[in-house]
Structure 1
Amino acid sequence: MNIIGRVTADASVQTLSNDKTVVNFSVATNESYRNKQGEKIEQTTFFDCSYWLSAKAAKILTKGALVELTGRISARAWTGADGQAKASLNFHTSNIKLHHNGKKAETGQQPAKEQAAHENFAEDDIDDDMPF
């Protein structure tokens, strides 16, 4: 599955007890459509994402960056401390393609039209063992 969205905050790298590292980040996707009354409806979906293949990916996963992710999705449900039911969508990322860096846009620098992917992190590019 592929999703395209903006990173909501700078990614964080976590080292686990087995010395494996994981990059955690969140992505927001937007969809718009018109309802039966002709009103435009905007819908935003947030995904909690993980990337196990290289901690270097955290360098490009900065707030506002437009990324295309390939991977698989899972849902998680739990009961919060307040007793309310909670749920989240988790995206287990296997490939990251950077389309546009949000920080450059904030400074007024526009990337070249054909410079869509600054970096492309894929499962095939990493020699590390898989964490599972």
Structure 2
Amino acid sequence: MNIIGRLTRDAEVRTLSNKKQVVNFSIATNDNYRNKQGERIEQTTFFDCSYWITSKVAELLTKGTLVELMGRVYTRAWIGKDGEAHAGLNFHTSKIKIHSISKTKPEKETTSKEPKSNQNDKDDDLPF
């Protein structure tokens, strides 16, 4: 199955007791349609995703990034600490294709040993 959506939070890498690592992240997919009355209905579905192949991908999976995932979906149900029943959709990801990376985080500055100079600051032969 393929799904396309945006990450709702930054990916997290978890190390299990057997030293295996898993990348956990969440995406939201949007679908819209018109009902019988002609009203436009937008539906958002959230998936909790896991990726077991390599943890290096986690640094690219930041909130807002648009991804296409291949894998299988399954449901999960549990009783919370509050005694309430909960359910969720999980996606066991086998392949990730990044369509666009989020620009919400500031870019890393490159360090240089030479001071930054502006082209206009350089000496030239112009009288002004």
Partner of 2:69 in structure 1? 69
Aligned-residue offset at 1:66 = 0.2
The range that moved more, 80-89 or 25-34, is 80-89
Identity %: 68
User: Unpaired runs of 5+ in structure 1?
Assistant: 108-132
Aligned-residue offset at 1:70 = 0.2
Give the Cα separation in 2 of the matches to 1:82 and 1:13.
27
User: Unpaired runs of 5+ in structure 2?
Assistant: 107-128
* SS across alignment from 2:56: helix
The range that moved more, 72-81 or 21-30, is 72-81
Give the Cα separation in 2 of the matches to 1:53 and 1:44.
27
TM-score w.r.t. length of structure 1: 0.77
Q: How many pairs align?
A: 106
| Residue type at the aligned position of 2:79 | T
Give the Cα separation in 2 of the matches to 1:81 and 1:16.
23
* SS across alignment from 2:14: strand
Pair 1:38-2:38 in alignment: yes
Counterparts in 2 of 1:1-132, with a 5 A limit? 1-103=1-103
Give the Cα separation in 1 of the matches to 2:91 and 2:6.
14
Bigger Rg, structure 1 or 2: 2
TM-score w.r.t. length of structure 2: 0.79
